[in-house]
Amino acid sequence: EADLSGYAPKPREPLCTDWKTLYRVCGMPPPASGHIAVMQILGLLERSPVQAAPLQGGVPSADWLHTYTEAARLAFADRALYVADPDFVPAPTGGWGALLDDAYLHRRAALIGPRSMGTAQPGVPTGTRTAFAPQADQPEYGTSHISIVDGDGQAVAMTTTIEAVWGSRIMSDGGTGLPGGFLLNNQLTDFSLAPTDAQGRPVANRVQPGKRPRSSMSPTLVFDRRSGQLLMSLGSPGGPAIIHFTAKTLVGTLDW
């Protein structure tokens, strides 16, 4: 009960990133990892030395999928090292935008070749030093998304989650003494299951009191850079696959 009464939503400024000179893509900042990872993937695709025809017979070509996969490896490596609750973990030098900096993305894209790189290593934005260790892969679940645009052009992209299906599987009034009749989440599993790596270095997304876990949520609004007109409202469920669904929807809709 004390946890619920002490909790309050925390408004944060969205991250907005220009893409392909035509679009301004705005999304959720950390502790959500979605916008940074999505825009890293798109930026790496654009700068990759390996360029392939995206479509073959109306479906994504094998060469394009290879380039996409390599870009995603690089983005997820950065996500595992850097992204966590900014009230507990500082952004790289220069802010979260340092992970989307043009020169940084060019350096990272140069790692993409015609063969798989295997396990990607996180990059180091200029001037950044970190004492953290990357978070190991672990399953993530759940999430719902709605996108709404009304007759006046007002738009909402909203992603909500209680983590796994049915969350903790405990109702607030199911013997807990809490009113409300809602499902309690199991969001603790969005934190790193291991607080440190084998060398004892802390993981940025480790459990700490009052901390909000990293998520993959990617609610996104896309605007025309010149006119400011809303072009898209999108997002997705799917755990870490949210990032791929969102990135591929943006590419398929705006680039192809």
User: What is the residue type of 204?
Assistant: A
Does 22 score more than 80 pLDDT?
A: yes
pLDDT band at 140 (very low <50, low <70, confident <90, very high): confident
pLDDT of residue 176: 65
User: Contact at 8 Å (CB) between 157 and 232?
Assistant: no
Does 243 score more than 80 pLDDT?
A: yes
Q: What is the rounded average pLDDT for all residues in the chain?
A: 93
What is the average pLDDT across 98-106? 98
CA 196 to chain centre: 22
Instruction: Say if residue 198 is exposed, middle or buried (CB neighbours under 10 Å; 0-12, 13-18, 19+).
Output: exposed
Q: What is the CA angle 220-223-225, rounded to 5?
A: 135
Distance, CA of 68 to CA of 151 (rounded, Å): 36
| pLDDT tens for each residue of 146-193 | 999 999 989 999 999 988 888 888 888 766 667 777 888 899 999 999
pLDDT of residue 224: 98
pLDDT of residue 175: 64
Domain spans of the chain? Answer: 2-255
User: Contact at 8 Å (CB) between 155 and 221?
Assistant: yes
**CA distances for 148 relative to 126, 228, 232, angstroms:** 39, 18, 10
DSSP calls for 11-44: --PPEEEEETTTEEEEE--TTB-HHHHHHHHHHH
Q: How many CB atoms lie within 10 A of CB 231?
A: 16
What is the average pLDDT across 13-42? 97
pLDDT of residue 107: 98
Residues classed as catalytic = 143
Architecture of domain 2-255: Orthogonal Bundle (1.10)
